[in-house]
Amino acid sequence: MKSWIVSQAEAGTTAWKYVTHILPNAAAGLLRKSMRKKNITLNGKKMEGKEKLVSGDRIDIWFSDDTISKFQDEMKPKGKDLSFFFSSILYEDENVLALNKPAGLLSQGDGSGSPSLNDGLLAYLKDEITPAFRPSICNRLDRNTSGIVLAGKTMAALQQLSELIRTRAVSKTYIAMVWGETEKQGTFKGWMVKDERKNQVRCLDHEEEGARPVETRYKQIAVKRMGQDLCTLVEVHLITGRSHQIRVHFAHAGHPILGDRKYGTKESIAFSDRNHIRRQLLHAGKVRFPKHLNPPLEVLSGKLFTARLPADMEKFNFEDKRQS
């Protein structure tokens, strides 16, 4: 028999979810049967699974040590060089981290063994990993997109953050460098459909089966002539949030993001090559929280996080004329 005491970070999860995190390799039917027979108990009493846990609750599992070991996974992150993580921290409190992901780094692991921001998070918070909870990032950016990623350090914070992002209550602003000269401001509307096999998205001007409605708004920050070519720095707001939405919408409008080899044109890719642009120049530069948040995120009410442009975008020295 082994016992687990619910920590403050795990509070708020259900008893069932806690047990399935402790024993991820155990069949659900076996766990439910064990609960009915009181081989798994909560505070010494029969457990139904739907109970909301609080800090200090005790879960007892009356299995042999060998059986428990067989049903468990290794919870600690694998050792990697994660020194990059420390310089990415923009903000931290007891519940939340705001991180500035560099381009070229995965948000979450893809099974290839390449380091990810989430690997760094788990290594940084290794002492806070428990059998029932692992800190996690809440929003993803494409590997070659830089900018702000949010992470939850406790179960309650992770759940609240995820809901704020899902409902788009958290406002995100992107900065992109695109081919050609855009209008001063504009709105792109349409439908997008994703080819999962190719991991590629098509933008449509009409609705069709499987397509989802999308909307993107932008404002021109500055236009710059480079040789005989024009490019524009734009501020972008997502009204919907689909995979590759910004990249596809600007490409569909004739202004592909510079460095984007998946959705770019021959001209924009050639320009990118001449100017040594190695990735799509897209940066998640601002995140603003709504006012009047409930605990545990009340300290973030109305808070704005910013991440300055990375060097590969800043080097083009665009002059922001929006205030002139």
**What is the three-class DSSP state of 153?**
coil
With CA atoms as reference, report the closest residue to 175 among 215, 145, 139, 151: 145
- Reply yes or no: is the peptide bond before residue 290 cis, omega within 30 of 0: no
CB atoms within 10 A of CB 106: 18
Length of the chain: 324
Which of 142, 195, 205, 229 is labelled catalytic?
Answer: 142
Residue 207, Cα to own-chain centre: how many angstroms?
A: 28
Query: In the structure encoding, which two tokens stand for residue 111, read together?
Result: 């099974």
Question: What residues are paired with 52 via a beta bridge?
Answer: 14
**Active site (annotated) includes residue 142:** yes
Q: In what order do the strands lie in the sheet with 2-5?
A: 2-5, 58-61, 40-42, 45-46
Instruction: Dump strand ranges (E) for the chain.
Output: 2-5, 40-42, 45-46, 58-61, 89-92, 96-101, 136-137, 146-152, 171-179, 185-195, 200-204, 212-226, 229-238, 282-288, 304-306
What are the angstrom distances between the C-alpha of 73 and each of 176, 240, 255, 285? Answer: 41, 37, 47, 37
Alpha-carbon gap, residue 116 to 110, rounded angstroms: 9
| Position 204, amino acid | L
Q: What is the DSSP letter of 53?
A: P
Residues with active-site annotation: 142
